[in-house]
Amino acid sequence: MDNILTIRDLKVAFQVRGRDAYALDGINIDIPKGKIVGIVGESGCGKSMTAMSIMGLIKSPGRIVGGSIDFCGNELTKMGIREYANIRGKDISMIFQEPMTSLNPVVKVGKQVMEAIILHEHISKAEAKQRVIEIFNEVGIPEAEKRFNSYPHELSGGLRQRVMIGMAMICKPKLLIADEPTTALDVTIEAQILRLMKRLCEESGTSIMMITHNMGVVAEICDYVYVMYAGRVVESAPTKILFNETAHPYTSGLLKSIPTIGKKQKRLYTIKGNVPNILNLPKGCRFADRCDLTQNICLSDRPKDDYITDSHMVSCFLHKRIEDERSCIKIKKYS
């Protein structure tokens, strides 16, 4: 399958007290053309750092210290500021959790979207305005012409997020990075926005990198999922396989933690403890002290990436042990 984005062995480090602390420690991610790829994990696992690396927006003292990010044949880690400015907002765009932080509160929303398109396409103001009204209609903003002249605070949270999606999609990007785009919205609006994103992706062939801590969102719209933990990808697979043939105890924990749907959302399970600080990572498996299935080897050695199938990767000793036990049983059975 054609990948629009290929990340290999990407490392991002912060210089803290004279030594490098790794926020990303050798991650591999593929985003196929026209597909929605979920990046999941708790707070502090490195999801935003991954997005910022792709956008070329890692802030000092953080820096990319290894690996590659190939975007349609362009190596992003080596790209200059000018080249990046041409790609950002046009071929790769991003939407954030809280649109109020991305929208200018004193500029009409229509004008802000217009400015985004004029920056990348040499078209007249009249043409740009027409395109903005078209995209507002496409993303389901009622009375698009009237809303063109609204200020951000005059719109509901759901409408503001639709404006942001319109702004991100107006140049028909090849890749849309969505960082927790529905977290600030209520459940009904969340479902509408997710459906909208899926439809736009299907219609325009845009790939989406959906960053979320919510496995429910993943189940709803993602084709593939990468589960991140403490700066590493610990499991990746097509969504159905990840849900039905879960191989990593951390993924199981996330799946068990999905809150029940309804007004009184209940969390039936919580993974004990917290994500370790990147300054103080455990020697062995980074999840070992939170895992219910920890073995001695998990405390001393780092698990490697194992491929159960071409598209299902897991980084866990337990899986290896289960596989070995399975092959022993098979050997006994047939000998």
Ligand X SMILES: Nc1ncnc2c1ncn2[C@@H]1O[C@H](COP(=O)(O)OP(=O)(O)OP(=O)(O)O)[C@@H](O)[C@H]1O
Which chain residues interact with ligand X by CB under 6 A? 14, 16, 23, 41, 43-49, 62, 213, 278
Report the alpha-carbon distance of residue 134 to residue 126 in Å, rounded: 12
DSSP calls for 224-270: EEEEEETTEEEEEEEHHHHHHS---HHHHHHHHTPPPSSSS------
Between 42 and 323, CB nearer to ligand X:
42
**Nearest approach, Cβ of 141 to ligand X (angstroms)?**
28
Between 135 and 278, CB nearer to ligand X:
278
Between 176 and 211, CB nearer to ligand X:
211
**Nearest approach, Cβ of 239 to ligand X (angstroms)?**
19
Asked if 133 contacts 145 with a C-beta cutoff of 8 angstroms, the reply is yes
Between 111 and 213, CB nearer to ligand X:
213
Between 97 and 239, CB nearer to ligand X:
97
**Nearest approach, Cβ of 221 to ligand X (angstroms)?**
18
**Nearest approach, Cβ of 259 to ligand X (angstroms)?**
17
**Nearest approach, Cβ of 175 to ligand X (angstroms)?**
18
> Phi and psi (nearest 5°) for 39?
-115, 115
CA Rg value for the chain: 22
Beta strand 224-229 with 232-238 is: antiparallel
Between 15 and 300, CB nearer to ligand X:
15
The dihedral sign for the CA sequence 31, 37, 271, 95: positive
**Nearest approach, Cβ of 194 to ligand X (angstroms)?**
18
Return left, alpha or beta for 287; rule: phi > 0 is left, psi -120 to 50 is alpha, else beta.
Answer: alpha
- Identify which of 45, 39, 51 has the alpha carbon closest to the alpha carbon of residue 286: 45
